[in-house]
Amino acid sequence: MTLGEHLRELRNRLAIALLAILVLTIVAWFLYKPIFGFLTGPFCEMSGDAQVQPPPAGAIEDVGGTPGCPLYFTSIFQPFLIRLKVSALVAVVVSSPVWFYQIWGFVTPGLRRNERKWSLAFVLTAVPLFLLGAVLAYLVMSKGLALLLSFVPDEYGTLIGIDQYMTYTAAMIAIFGVAFELPLLILLLNLAGVLTFARLKQWQRRAILLIFVFAAVATPSQDPFSMLALGLSMTVLFEASVLLAYLNDRRRGVGSVEAAYDELDDDQASPLEMNRTDA
């Protein structure tokens, strides 16, 4: 394919993905009330907890909040913008099978024929992993919020804007969802011959350290509970991907040559293998 054909292909696939998101955004717009209640659930469930102190009497009604769930709209246009943001967030998550398929469909022409059979497996794996990460984010949000709000003195209340909460929710879902794609990325690099099991084993300790550094930096709340949940989950997924890389390399007979290269010193020349061909 020429560069122009690649650009047209990219444009068409982006259009399909954006159209799916747009259609589902419209659908989510009309289902806003139950979706909004679901997303605010982790915070609203804590509203009766001693760790979540309401503002002084009368303040809730004055700013348009509800006594059962002290989250507030703080501007005239915010209800409309929040509804749009929530609808778009739900559309992106629900349409993940479509845009994952479009991503893989754009990459597939550059693969060999025997590698294209993985296209369906890619979509069937990527979507559940993303959704699993989103579910975990939803489950740990209440724990993280409870921990952070436990530092509020008993004699004070916490006035939290709905925009702050929804931004936090969207960031948690996006970060956990994308982070859960780590094993799929590693496996794809292994199938392409870029990362072997021997190399992954060599980098294992450093990779786990980087995972926890990423979890500490990426989690928007910066609370230990969320960081630990993300770090441990990514570590388990990384170990699973290392195991799959081992099984794949063993099936293909890869490993002996890489092991021989790993045994060489940094200043030692490696042997040339002129007769080695790709399968």
Q: Token pair for residue 105?
A: 């469909």
Instruction: Please give the C-alpha separations between residue 204 and each of 182, 201, 246, 266, in angstroms, as whole numbers.
Output: 14, 5, 13, 20
Q: Token pair for residue 159?
A: 């006035």
pLDDT of residue 63: 41
Asked if 107 and 134 count as a contact pair (C-beta separation under 8 A), the reply is no
CA dist 251 and 208 (Å) reads 26
Structural domain boundaries in the chain:
3-263
14-25 mean pLDDT: 94
Q: Tell whether the model's pLDDT for residue 102 goes beyond 60.
A: yes
Least confident of 34-48, 109-123, 188-202, 235-249: 109-123
Q: Tell whether the model's pLDDT for residue 155 goes beyond 80.
A: no
For the entire predicted model, the pTM comes to: 0.74
Q: pLDDT tens-digit profile of 211-243? A: 999 998 888 877 888 899 999 999 999 999 999
Least confident of 32-36, 119-123, 143-147, 194-198: 119-123
Q: What is the dihedral of CA 225, 229, 230, 235, to 10 degrees?
A: 140
Asked if 73 and 60 count as a contact pair (C-beta separation under 8 A), the reply is no
Asked if 193 and 138 count as a contact pair (C-beta separation under 8 A), the reply is no
